[in-house]
Amino acid sequence: MILTVTLNTALDLTYGVPELVPHASHRVSDMSERPGGKGLNVARVLSALGHETAVTGFAGGSTGAVLRELLAGLPPQDADTKAENDATPAAAPITDALVTVAGNTRRTIAVVDRATGDTTQLNEPGPLVTADEWTALLGRYEELLTGADAVALCGSLPPGIHVGAYAELVRLARTAGVPVLLDTSGEPLRRGIAARPDLVKPNADELAQLTGSREPLRATRDARRRGAHGVVASLGPDGMLAVTPDGVWQASPPAKVLGNPTGAGDSAVAGLLSGLVEGLSWPDRLRRAVALSTATVLSPTAGDFDRAAYEELLSRVGIEEHTTAA
């Protein structure tokens, strides 16, 4: 079982409009809602890849109730493909191990301009989490670690949670002997990386904020020196750069693509984590991560990945090994 932690879960609302015009009223052409937050997005992709997954974090109020109802009834995103292709793995179950809080789960609102494909995102801050609720989460987390093959700690912190929360969760995972991946930003990333996670996955902006450098290789090496066992930098259309104890690799998609990048980074995390659990080599982990993230950009539904595009891209992702030491 792979465990994902989303301290600041969300109900993701996506509105499509023919064209987004500032200061104007818009008629919505299409709308979707789904359980969200980075770790829940990761779990959905892991499920589609055939990995049994548990999700924990906080959920509360009427929005949290809707999120959990949607999570319980989440259909396999690859169901149509499965009917046509028996080689496609069946979606694995996602276990709801969320901790109930008194506050109301946040909503995130994405407005997609169908004319350009651009997305405007509005993110609420999340509920105020009490000290007792945090203690309950720690207890649940330690229980779940006993059956976990790996854990991903993902996303922002809700109000009330101390800035060193991810560092605390990293240390608990290391004590339990469970490989841990950290995907957050700002001060929680700075403190979390010092707790020595097995892997961190910043994007280019998060990496620059952490290290002060925008040169990818220099910044990624600097991030690893701060405590992470390995660092995989997400470079958007330029792919991913991995600095690890086993070497340095850059993986690139075969061509730049246009589409909605929402959830692409979460799909990359799912690719890295599933590759770790399956014992894949670093180049193969990176191929999967880049193929999944690119296929997510190409998906008509934000946060899903296009299964056919993923399978076609997997063999076409370019891998370059750097000869200099990590």
Other beta carbons within 10 Å of 218: 13
Q: Look at strands 2-6 and 10-17 and give their pairing.
A: unpaired
SS3 readout for 29-60: CEEEEEEECHHHHHHHHHHHCCCCEEEEEEEE
Please tell me the distance from the alpha carbon of residue 238 to that of residue 40, in angstroms, as a whole number: 25
For residue 322, give both structure tokens: 């750097």
Residue 302 C-alpha from the chain's centroid: 13
Rounded distance between C-alpha atoms, residue 275 and residue 269, angstroms: 10
Q: Which two tokens stand for residue 11?
A: 């109900």
Q: Both tokens of residue 102?
A: 């008194």
Q: Identify the active-site residue in 12, 78, 183, 266.
A: 266
Structural contact between residues 126 and 102, judged by C-beta atoms closer than 8 angstroms: no
| Residue 266 designated active-site | yes
β-sheet bridge partners, residue 74: none
Active-site residue set:
266
